[in-house]
A = this chain, B = another copy of it.
Amino acid sequence: MKFGGTSVGDVERIRRVARIVAHERKPGRGLAVIVSAMAGETDRLVKLAREAGGDTHNRPGIAGKNFDDEYDVVVSTGEQVTTGLLSLALRQLGVPARSWQNWQIPIRSDASHSRARVDTIDSEKLGAAIDAGEVAVIPGFQAVTADDRITTLGRGGSDTSAVAVAAAIKAERCDIYTDVDGVYTTDPRITQRARRLEKIAYEEMLEMASLGAKVLLTRSVELAMAQRVPVRVLSSFVEPGDPNPGTIVCGEEEIVEKQVVSGVAYSRDEAKVSLLGVEDHPGVAADIFGRLADAEVNVDMIVQSQARHEGRQNMVFTCPDRDAPRAKQALEAAQKEIGYEDLQIHRDVAKVSVIGIGMRSQVGVAKTMFAALAGKGINIQAIATSEIKISVLIDAQYTELAVRALHTAYGLDAV
């Protein structure tokens, strides 16, 4: 079981979490609980560390790394506090419980402070305690290096910790309690017809996560998929015993009735970069995208087309909106070397995607999408496809209209 920052935001909420844990505890069922820092606590600690040591993040090169180890020492205390408090609250309910700090288990990671990756978890002592009926309460988002220094895992690290612990103790399931009650066919703020999915495949969840669905972050889903740990996303804002089925993220073999499309996702944080009149010679694409990679620009869709002038082409790509200034700088600095006529950046674009493992065995999925958008008069500026996803780039003002049209077109609307 994993509870995030808002779920343990104050002592009253920690007490509710304790009641939920106590309710899930049954004879023969051992429990490990991974917790985040109380909401706001990590921000407070980050602020203190930055005041004391300067801004340790986004600091280039060695200097930043030289500070991140102590940054982790400061920031990791937030989760430790929650483990103690939840253990106390569980004991108040008569449930045997104890906190397990990462060094006590140990949970080992590499030494990439503030963005470490979990390597190994020694499940021996931990597993024995859980088998003996004691609830194990473990701080998420952190680990220790082979050298016994404290690391943190970076954003969303607590979910990754939960999945890693679940895999290590061979848990039946990893329940991620959060502020939503499951994964939806699309953002319920856009259409009331959005439905909670009973099950979703790892691959689908990965595509949704990479499109900005904030329910589970990419890394935790990748790990769950690699380790074949079923993950259930469910609400932490219920009283124990209330219906709370959530959504199970699992292997596609577990999903009997496969939908062609399981969900419609969108992202407004996109920018479209157009390089017009690029000299058409071998290696020019490698040159352009090599420079963008060096500038840490995350390129997504790419469209190549013939330009007005003979021997020249247009090269259009998308990237996250926050990368656009870096893309502009890198490309402008190399205008001569690359050899292009004009550079245009549009930041009022959105990416809308349909996702479904059923696509693999189904033809005509793209046709349905294009027809639905054409029916609403929405122009498609770029297309990208993967085995289980079709994405289109459109004018941002049509985002909601497009999402609703696709949700209906693929038969996802709640009845």
Contact = CB atoms under 8 A, between A and B. Distances in A.
A103 to B, nearest CB: 6
Interface string A50-77: 0111101000000000110111111001
A88 interface: yes
Contacts of A101: 73, 150
- Prevailing SS type, chain A contact patch: helix
A347 interface: no
B51 A70 contact: no
Interface string A342-376: 00000000000000000000000000000000000
A19 to B, nearest CB: 13
Interface in A69-101: 69-74, 77, 80-81, 83-89, 91-92, 98-99, 101
A45 interface: yes
25 contacts: A11-B48, A11-B51, A14-B52, A15-B52, A52-B84, A52-B85, A52-B88, A53-B85, A53-B88, A53-B91, A54-B92, A69-B98, A70-B85, A70-B91, A70-B98, A73-B80, A73-B83, A73-B84, A73-B99, A73-B101, A77-B77, A101-B150, A103-B103, A103-B148, A104-B149
B85 A74 contact: yes
Contacts of A51: 11
A373 to B, nearest CB: 52
Contacts of A87: 70, 73
A49 interface: yes
Given A98-B70, A101-B73, A11 B85 contact: no
A45 B81 contact: yes
Given A11-B48, A48-B85, 7 more contacts: A11-B51, A11-B52, A49-B88, A52-B89, A56-B88, A72-B84, A73-B84
A340 B74 CA distance: 60
Interface of A: 11, 14-15, 45, 48-49, 51-54, 56, 66-67, 69-74, 77, 80-81, 83-89, 91-92, 98-99, 101, 103-104, 148-150
* Chain A to chain B: the 3 pairs with minimum beta-carbon distance, closest first: A53-B88, A73-B84, A74-B84
A11 B53 CA distance: 10
Contacts of A73: 80-81, 83-84, 87, 99, 101
A321 to B, nearest CB: 32
A383 to B, nearest CB: 48
Contacts of A53: 85, 88-89, 91-92
Contacts of A80: 73-74, 77, 80
B48 A70 contact: no
A13 to B, nearest CB: 11
Given A81-B77, A85-B74, A52 B99 contact: no
Given A73-B80, A81-B45, A52 B98 contact: no
A74 B70 contact: no
Contacts of A149: 104
Contacts of A70: 83-85, 87-88, 91, 98-99
Given A101-B150, A148-B104, A150-B101, A71 B52 contact: no
A71 B84 contact: yes
Contacts of A11: 48, 51-52
A285 to B, nearest CB: 43
Contact of A52 (B54, B72, B92): B92
Contacts of A48: 11, 81, 85
Most B CB contacts (10 A, CB to CB) among A15, A54, A101 go to A101
